[in-house]
Amino acid sequence: MHSIPGRRVIMALFLIFLLLPIYWLVNMSFKTNSEIVSTMTLWPHTPTLQHYRRIFTDESWYSGYINSLEYVVLNTVISISVALPAAYAFSRYRFLGDKHLFFWLLSNRMAPAAVYALPFFNLYSAIGLFDTPWAVALAHCIFNVPLAVWILEGFVSGVPREIDETAFLDGYSFPRFFIKILVPLIASGIGVAAFFCFMFSWVELLLARTLTSVQAKPIAAIMTRTVSAAGMDWGLLAAAGVLTIIPGALVIWFVRNYIARGFALGRV
């Protein structure tokens, strides 16, 4: 691949631009609040773990992480399991209204979350799911299911149809073919789709905040309430922020070889 002159400098500058704000957050999370407010220091002069200790021992803080992970995992499982058969259907068959259905799914991926915030609130209150991880997990399906269908469809289309036909000739029933043959063949696709479902559910705040109040409050919502409280606890806020970056960073590390491909393939 041909590159441009000065590419090292450009890349280095851009990476610094990306990392500098994150460094500042990490830096602040290790400072005491008096150091943050009183002096401008480029690194913590009296490093402390008090903010992290507070988060890991105070239930109102760490339960936020558990709540968030709970609905993110639920959502990923629901999205992938309903999207798999649909992806197969869209990839292999033509049926009444298939194109319209596909466009309708796609349009839901693009719908602004703000439009749905209030109706979701009413809907999930009416059926008694309000303030449970299920409410958020189902609400996030509106953008994650279409996305998962889109990604998986690409991967299923990459599997030659001869494989299906051979399997059926060999006497495989449809469910058995699906689980024993198709799923292992598109395992990397399922991984990429799960990564994107995880990602979009993890970063979303508006719906997650609207649909929970006490029991299932996500970490993102707990953080916003600290922001609005009088007497800002900057160190604690920074530490909580750093901890929300870690799951994402771990997930990226596992899928790093598929990132570029995955974004081009599925980010729609």
Q: Which residues contact 55 (CB under 8 A, 6 or more apart)?
A: 61, 62, 236, 239, 240, 243
Q: Which residues contact 33 (CB under 8 A, 6 or more apart)?
A: 233, 234, 235
Write the DSSP symbol of residue 262.
H
Site for other proteins in 215-244 (CB under 8 A): 219-220, 223-224, 227, 234, 237-238, 241, 244
Contact 105, 141 (CB under 8 A): no
Does 134 interact with other proteins (rule: CB under 8 A)? no
Question: What's the angle, vertex CA 176, arms to CA 173 and CA 182, rounded to 5?
Answer: 115
Q: Which residue has the tokens 């070889």?
A: 257
Q: Which residues contact 111 (CB under 8 A, 6 or more apart)?
A: 142, 143
Does 169 interact with other proteins (rule: CB under 8 A)? no
Q: Which stretch binds other proteins (CB under 8 A): 45-53, 55-63, 179-187, 202-210?
A: 202-210
Least CB distance to other proteins at residue 267 (A): 6
Does 117 interact with other proteins (rule: CB under 8 A)? yes
Contact 202, 68 (CB under 8 A): yes
Does 69 interact with other proteins (rule: CB under 8 A)? no
Q: What is the total count of residues that contact other proteins (CB under 8 A)?
A: 109
Which residue in 55, 145, 182, 216 binds other proteins (CB under 8 A)? 145
Does 66 interact with other proteins (rule: CB under 8 A)? no
Does 263 interact with other proteins (rule: CB under 8 A)? yes
Q: Which stretch binds other proteins (CB under 8 A): 48-56, 59-67, 104-112, 179-187?
A: 104-112
| Closer residue to other proteins in complex, CB, 38/57 | 38
Does 185 interact with other proteins (rule: CB under 8 A)? no
Does 256 interact with other proteins (rule: CB under 8 A)? yes
CA distance 204 to 217: 13
| Closer residue to other proteins in complex, CB, 58/98 | 98
Q: Which stretch binds other proteins (CB under 8 A): 44-52, 53-61, 75-83, 179-187?
A: 75-83
Closest CA to 216 of 141, 135, 140, 117: 135
